[in-house]
Structure formats: structure tokens, C-alpha cells
Chains A and B, each alone.
Chain A
Amino acid sequence: MAILTVREALQQALHEAMQDERVFIIGEDIGHYGSTYGVTAGFLEKYGPERIRDAPIAEAGILGLATGAAMAGMRPIAEIMSVNFSLLAFDIIINHAAKIYSMFGGKFSVPLVMRTTNGWTQLSATHSQSFDAMFAYIPGLKVVAPATPADMKGMFRAAMADPDPVIFIEHTLMYGVKGEVPDGDYIVPIGKSVLAREGRHLTVVTYSRMVHLSLQAAELLAQEGIEVEVVDLRTLRPLDMSVALESFKKTNHAVVVTEDWQSYGTSAEIATRLYEAGFDYLDAPIQRVNFREVPMPYAKNLEQQVVVTTERIVAAIKKVLNRS
């Protein structure tokens, strides 16, 4: 076990992946620039330009070439610097990568991993969005959004071993988060949620960066005698609700925390699943904590009111428990 940041854990996972000669990385500013968030820093020098492919700013092209190469037997890692730019590649991702396996009768698949980032920090309207729900909406994609350094490493390994297209969602505000990471071979399967904290009064269902904020909220509430259980979904498609439902049956209260817009967002699906399978265990309406539904403002005072904060999570939990 070593204590690593999310960035270091990912670097370890990527170096491991590069041991396979079929693996190459294609993306914007991954090489000469030195990598926007530092994850592939030093890779160009180590692996050379054939396998660390600095691409033109052409997202459809990046995903299109990666998809074709994957069909033909390569194991490409396509990096889309910011998920906001992935919109230019949605045709390739949705109409091709996600469809090819079933549309052609299961004769070939697309073993592609697309790394991308959510995040915000006064970047205004077009650089602060989340499209988690849009990816997770698509049958044929697998969508993962790990929260811890260990899961980053272990789930990246699982993504690389998977014969289907995997959308691997990172977060710009999480690269410095530290945690214990097992050495050597370490794999965390796709599609398995996990308990991040035990409690008995209320279940928070969440994933990615919101796991950390939810744990902070739980810590604060513990001082008031409220014991919050936190479930980290880790994968959005396929969505494993088993851990969340077990917890919900015990606590009878739930808050869903996701860093995206509420209407038609990931929290809508998660809450619906809780209602459908857990209605008989429900003691109070489920609350959701999300981005406020506006294009992200630049001004810091406004941005702070849009994003999810620990305070907003605490308030939602207290509301469900009727403890204001």
C-alpha cells in the first residue's frame, strides 16, 4: 500500500496499460504540451510519438480513429481534455462506438477507453458542465466515475480489460485527492457499488467527487449524533443499486447527491430506482442535491451558489430527517 494522489494512481494505471503493445493514447495536448492536468506528463518521452499521439483539436476525429483502431484490434485510450468538448464527438460515441457490437450482430466490438474530466472553477458556462447522464443514457456504453485513488487505478485496469467502450470520468478538482492504493496488480470490477461509510439514520447515494463532500457532511453530522451511511456507486452504467438498496432498507431515508443538473440528470434515475424497489421502506421523501439549473456563471459569488457544497448536503439530510 502506498499513499497516492488520484493523479499518481492514474499515472500508475496508464503506465501499466502501456505494457500492452496494442495500447496507445490519442488526445489533445497529451504529449508536447506536457498534459493539461499532468496525468500523461513524461509519457511522450518514455513511449514516443507513435504511441503518445498528440492529436489536432478535432474531437470527432480523436474518438473516430480510436473507435476504428479498437475494432481492428488495438487498445486505444482516447483522452478528451474536458467533457464539454466531447459533445463534438457524440456522433462517434453514440452512433458508432456504442452501437457497433449489437448493430453488426455481435461479430466485433469496440474495446475503447475514453478518459475525460468533469470540473469547474470560474470557467463559465461552456467549461463547467457534466454530461454523466447523457453517457449513462446510452445502451452499449459502460460509464464509470471513480472517487478514490485506489478505485481510479483498479477501475482503469478493469476498463482496459473490457471489450466494450468504457467512458472513464475523472474530475479536475480531484487530481490532488490522496488515498491508499494497493501495489501491483489491482483490479476493481466495473458495475460494483461500495459502502464508503457506515451509518444507520440515512443513506447518501452518490459517486465521484461528491463522495468526498458527502463524507465531509457525514463527519459534521456525526458530531450531532446523526449517523449517515454513504454509498459510492462507482459505475453509472450498468448501475448497481444493490448496496444502496440494502442501506436504504436499513435507514429508511435517502439523499441523492450528484454534481449535475437535477432535471433528467443522474439523480433522477438513482432516486427513481430507490422509489421503485424501496417504496415499502420509505419514511420520508427522498431529497436531491445537485447543480442549480442555470448555465454556470463566471462570478465567484454566483458560481458558489450553483455548485454542490457540504453545507447544502447537510441541509438536505436534516430536512429528510426532519432535524432542522
Chain B
Amino acid sequence: MQKQRGSTKAVTSATQSVRSSMTSTPFTRALEHLGADQLVEYYRQMMLIRRFEEKCQEMYTRSKIGGFLHLYVGEEATGVGAISNLQPQDHVFTHYRDHGHAIARGLDINPLMAELFGKDTGCSRGMGGSMHFADVTKNFWGGYAIVGSHLLLADGVALQCKMQKTNGVVMVFFGDGATNGGEFYEALNFAQLWKLPVVFVCENNLFAMGTPLEVHSSVTEIYRKANAFDMKSMRIDGNDLLGVREQVGEAVEHARSGKGPVLVEAMTYRFRGHSAQDTQKYRSKEDVEKHRSADPLEAYRKLLIDEEICPASRLDAIDVQIDVEVDASVEFADNSPVPGNEWLTDAGIYAAPLETLTVDPTLV
């Protein structure tokens, strides 16, 4: 999706011998099929998400960003690994914790930061904010803030793919908390009934906002909920980037081949609170620290270094480059104009505003 900086050609050749001496794993298979450059690119995407969101937190504290801010920190391996399987003709829907998916799908971070700043140059023209990133040119249909209902919209786009034979697949992300409401079950039934090309990716981070999994769901193995619909499903380690990539890749191919939808349950963990205001009374600091010590981003970085895919110095250089890009996005957002008042008229509400405008008596 996004171009990788620098060259790893020398590194690639250096790893050939390492690969041949190992048994087959998601890592060796990914290296063989994708090459070292692409493996480093996944690192770059995960780090870009991490640093972008750390900057978001900083800007939120400085009141540059308003509203709710739901950070994806800790869950990057799921989004990057899953979306890495998609082609340009494929589609993405996600929930309000949408920054990571947007970046993984290749959205430029300048319009994303501008969106958070409520600017006209934002990806949604400053009308959506953090929960509503979208870019129709990348079939990134947006973040949705009503838990569970976007699964049905994803089904609808999949129906379009099927009826117009586009060969496209729809990937839709949601949390464990979205699997108890009726729209989840309607979405699964429609998708399986009509063999729609949908990959449902449940990011099970163990909490529905602040309610623990075992308190909110009668079945805590979410993937088993697909059994009611005779739907293929799997539970995977959402913190293992290459494992996510490979297993979700199988789900994508299943959906693309016309065999119907798949429910993937990716076990992951969010390091930050539900939103920026969360005091996190529902979990212990020890639990959070335990998961932080198994940070999927750090684990992946270590893998790249240990397997001699990329030296630490070059990863450090990527980190520095990302910091430059993130700082530039803040400058871009800061210097952008605010949206105009046309958004307060019917012209901002309707694709085809009518001559008979809605009369607001307070404006007469």
C-alpha cells in the first residue's frame, strides 16, 4: 500500500541462508512469498500507527483534538496483519477505534490528523472526527460509532461485490462487545445465507468498553458464535503479526472464492483506556503491564533483528522518519482552514439539496 523508505536488498540476500535452515513457519513463508522489504514495511505501518496515536494523545491533552479519542495502541498487529491481505478492489469497514485500520489501509496521515483537528482538509472534511475516518478512493468506508450496526453495511457492500461480480472482499472490524447485539446476528445470518464475501474480524481485547468479556457474553470464545450459522470461523493470536496475516489470508481467500463469510476472532489487548477519559477501574495495572511486556510491536521488531531481516539501526532510522512525518501531519493540520458554514445548510446534508430548503425559524 505505502511505499517503503530505503533499500533492504543487502539484508534480503543475507537472510536467504537463515530461511533455508529453518522449519516452515508463518515467518519463513512470509519471507519467502513477500521478501524482506515487505516485512519491514509491516513494521513501518505498525510503528506509524503507534507514533501517530501517541501524538494524538499529546494533541488531545493540549486540546487540539476534541470529543472522544479511542486509541488502538497495543492492537496494531491485528489491523496491519489482517488488512495486508486486501487488494485495491477490496473494502474495509471498521468501528470507532479506527485510526489503525485507516493507516494500515494506506490513508495519508495528514488528512487524518487534520480530521482530528476539525479541519476542512480532514479525510471527512472535519465533519466526522476521530470516530469517522473514511476514504472512498481506497474503499475505506469509514469508522462507525454505533456498536455492531456497521456489520450490516459491510454485508451490503459485499452484496454489491457479489451482484456486480467485482471479485471484491469486505473486511469488517469490531470488538468482542459488538457480538451480543442483534445486528451482529442479523449480519452473520445474511452473510452466510447469501454466501457474501465478508471477513468478520472480531478484535477481542477482553473488554466491552469497561465490562469484562465473561461479564458481557454467555460464550467467551467469540468464534464459536459462528457455529449457529454453519459459518467457518477461527480464533487466532491477534498479537502475532505474521500469524494474523497468514490466517486472515486464508479467510480472505475463502470469502473471495465464493464459499461464504468467515468469522475471525483475533485475541488482542488495548494498552490504553477505552477512551482518553478512561480511569480503567475494571482492570489492574499488573494485568496491563503484563500485556505491555508482550507488546506486539516490540516483539515484531525483535523478530526482524534476531532473524537478521533488518538491523536495529535501520529500524531506528525508520522510527526517526516516522516522527518527522507525524510532526509534519500536526503542522499540516494546524495550518489548514476550518470547514465553511455551508455544512450548516441543506447543501451540507444532502447530495442533492432541493430548492425547498428546510426552514430553520431561528435563522429567519
Q: Do A92 and B164 have beta carbons less than 8 Å apart? A: no
Q: Do A71 and B359 have beta carbons less than 8 Å apart? A: no
> Which residues on A sit within 8 Å (CB–CB) of B357?
238
> Which residues on A sit within 8 Å (CB–CB) of B189?
56, 58, 61
A295 at the B interface (CB under 8 A):
no
A103 at the B interface (CB under 8 A):
yes
B81 at the A interface (CB under 8 A):
no
Could you tell me how many residues of chain A have their Cβ less than 8 Å away from some Cβ of chain B?
55
Q: Which of B126, B152, B355, B356 contacts A105 (CB 8 A)?
A: B126
Q: Which of B91, B128, B152 contacts A60 (CB 8 A)?
A: B152
Q: Do B160 and A72 have beta carbons less than 8 Å apart? A: yes
> Which residues on B sit within 8 Å (CB–CB) of A163?
351-352
A68 at the B interface (CB under 8 A):
yes
**In the bound complex, what is the Cα–Cα distance between A62 and B70 (angstroms)?**
30
Q: In this complex, what residue of A is CB-closest to B142?
A: A104
Given contacts A68-B154, A96-B144, A139-B358, contact A102 B149 (CB under 8 A): no
Q: Do A64 and B155 have beta carbons less than 8 Å apart? A: yes
Q: Which of A60, A66, A103 contacts B127 (CB 8 A)?
A: A103
> Which residues on B sit within 8 Å (CB–CB) of A91?
146, 149, 183
Q: Do B190 and A61 have beta carbons less than 8 Å apart? A: yes
Contact-residue bracket for chain B:
35 or more
Q: Which of A64, A108, A111, A242 contacts B186 (CB 8 A)?
A: A64
**In the bound complex, what is the Cα–Cα distance between A85 and B186 (angstroms)?**
15
Q: Do B126 and A67 have beta carbons less than 8 Å apart? A: no
Q: In this complex, what residue of B is CB-closest to A88?
A: B182
Q: In this complex, what residue of B is CB-closest to A106?
A: B125
**In the bound complex, what is the Cα–Cα distance between A74 and B158 (angstroms)?**
11
A73 at the B interface (CB under 8 A):
yes
A79 at the B interface (CB under 8 A):
no
Shortest CB-to-CB span from B347 to chain A, Å, is: 9
**In the bound complex, what is the Cα–Cα distance between A163 and B350 (angstroms)?**
8
Q: In this complex, what residue of A is CB-closest to B194?
A: A53
> Which residues on B sit within 8 Å (CB–CB) of A191?
354-356
**In the bound complex, what is the Cα–Cα distance between A245 and B267 (angstroms)?**
62
> Which residues on A sit within 8 Å (CB–CB) of B151?
64
| From B159, B348, B358, residue with most partner A Cβ within 10 Å | B159
Q: Which of B136, B182, B349 contacts A108 (CB 8 A)?
A: B136
B132 at the A interface (CB under 8 A):
yes
Query: Would you list 9 pairs from A and B whose C-beta atoms are within 8 A, ordered by A residue?
Result: A64-B153, A64-B186, A68-B159, A91-B149, A96-B146, A101-B351, A103-B127, A106-B351, A189-B354
Binding site for A on B (CB under 8 A): 91, 122-128, 132, 134-136, 141-142, 144, 146, 149-161, 163-164, 182-183, 186-187, 189-190, 193, 343, 346, 348-352, 354-359, 361, 364
- Contacts A68-B158, A104-B127, A162-B352 known; list 14 others, CB within 8 Å: A61-B155, A61-B183, A68-B156, A69-B160, A71-B141, A71-B153, A76-B156, A91-B149, A103-B124, A107-B135, A164-B352, A190-B354, A237-B358, A241-B359
